[in-house]
Amino acid sequence: MQLPLAVPQESGAVALDGPLWVAQTSASDPEQAAQYLASQLLNPYLEGVLFFCSAEYDLPALAAALEAHLGGVKLCGCTTAGELGVEGYSRGSIVAVGFDRRAFALDYRLIRELDRFTLLDAQRITDQLMEHCTRSGVAPLKGHTFAMTLLDGLSACEELVLLTLTSVLAGIPHFGGSAGDDNRLTGTHVYGEGAFHDRAAVVLMVNTELDFEVLSTHHLRPRGEKLVVTAADRERRRVLELNAEPAALEYARLVGCPVEALSPELFARHPLAVRLHDKTYVRAIQGVNPDLSLSFYCAVETGIVLTAMQSSDLLADLGREIDTIAERLGPAECIIGCDCFLRRLELEQDGLQAAAKAFYRRERILGFNTYGEHCSGLHLNQTFSGVFIGQARRGH
């Protein structure tokens, strides 16, 4: 187990022992927030900053403030459905991670039109990012590089973009998350090139001398029931029928409640998943539509079989995954994590907020609650996906 991040009483900043710096602010005024982050992170060795911010901010004003105070720095990020910061779970804040150029080389590219993203675009972006990492000379490219994607969480383009990127990443490990908007489901944004954008994505590539490992895990276990998608609108990610019945009615029957009682909290508690080669890939439900169809966060198609799932111990599952990696790599400098907001809802329903905050702080997890997670080219739901970054070796 890791010692918790030391959080000064008077501020939301913390310097890790190694080549990462973390700052967090809950200042609601964009100018004050950006000024504070700059005061904590700017230094001669800063290679770049990755940040996650609440959608409650005035985003144009925040972009202008960030550009004014951090405009000379490689800066990318996204809006969230909750932040993972120096004190664990947070809301209404900005969490920013700064990378030391003596241990990290990084660069990013903004994809402005997701629905027009092509294989040629992916190859061009990947080549540019690889060239920067190679030129920086921090570490060899192979075995020392990972990529992170941040996508508009309401774009419904994740599968296309991730599949296209994965085909050209040449085996570079990849994870990421879909931007959120504090559970409002009205507008999600990524930040790059000095502004917030919708229907866009950011691809960040990181090269480092430190050991790391990309991970993805979930705590859900199969029940016995099966639901066949007998009618679906693939483009809109809607399931019209399950087992030849209106989808919402059949799902409500499965979980034992009236349609009127269906809610995000209930969807988090009773997820559905596709099983493939003894692995399960959750397909989380976003909401019920007036025609009794169900909207999903991931792609759904006619003919797929959905398995009903049930929860096990969420924190124990994640703890086991982290401990297994730590046995190979040693203690974590930090874990940059993309944690589905439905997992957060489940913890809140179970009254485990305090336990979760303590766990995430102790394990040095920094990141955000997402509308979907990315790992190895797959778009996932109700998972924790991220990168475990090991500590620098002694004498290095």
**Overall average pLDDT of the 1-9 stretch:** 37
Question: Beta strands 238-242 and 220-233: pairing type?
Answer: antiparallel
Main-chain phi, psi angles of 325, to 5 degrees: -70, -40
The token pair that represents 46 in the structure block:
């800063």
For residue 11, pLDDT beyond 60 = no
Average pLDDT, the chain: 92
Estimate the share of the chain in helix, then strand, then coil, as percent rounded to the nearest 5.
25, 40, 35
Q: What is the pLDDT of residue 1?
A: 33
Residue showing tokens 């570079």: 172
Asked whether the predicted pLDDT for residue 5 surpasses 90, the reply is no
Q: What is the mean pLDDT of residues 190-194?
A: 97
Token pair in block for residue 150: 């941040």
Can you give the residue ranges of every domain in the chain? Answer: 14-217+316-392, 221-311
Assess whether pLDDT exceeds 50 at residue 2.
no
Q: How confident is the model at residue 263 (pLDDT cuts 50, 70, 90)?
A: very high
- Angle (CA) 270 272 274, round 5°: 160
- Quote the pTM value: 0.91
Cα–Cα distance, 122 to 128 (Å, whole number) = 10
pLDDT, one tens digit per residue, over 271-297 is 999 987 778 889 999 999 999 999 999
Do residues 153 and 372 make contact, with C-beta atoms less than 8 angstroms apart? Answer: yes
Q: Look at residue 7 in the predicted model and tell me its pLDDT.
A: 39
- Tell me the CA end-to-end span of the chain in Å, nearest whole number: 23
Average of per-residue pLDDT across 14-35 = 87
374 has a pLDDT exceeding 80: yes
> How many other CB atoms are found less than 10 A from the CB of residue 6?
10
Helices (H), the chain: 30-41, 59-70, 119-136, 158-166, 247-255, 264-269, 314-329, 341-349, 353-362
How many CB atoms within 10 Å of residue 208? 24
Per-residue pLDDT band at 17 (split at 50, 70, 90): low
3 state SS of 199: coil
DSSP code string of 220-239: EEEEEEEEEEEEEETTTTEE
For 46-57, the pLDDT digits (tens) are 999 999 999 999
Parallel/antiparallel/unpaired status of strands 305-311 and 190-192: unpaired
Mean pLDDT score, 238-243: 97
The structure tokens listed for 114 are: 């997701």
Long-range contacts of 274-283 (CB under 8 A, 24+ apart): 274/304, 274/305, 274/306, 274/307, 275/222, 275/305, 275/307, 280/218, 280/220, 280/222, 280/307, 280/309, 281/378, 281/380, 282/218, 282/220, 282/309, 282/380, 282/381, 282/382, 282/383, 283/381
Spatial separation of the C-alpha atoms in residues 43 and 4, rounded to whole Å: 24
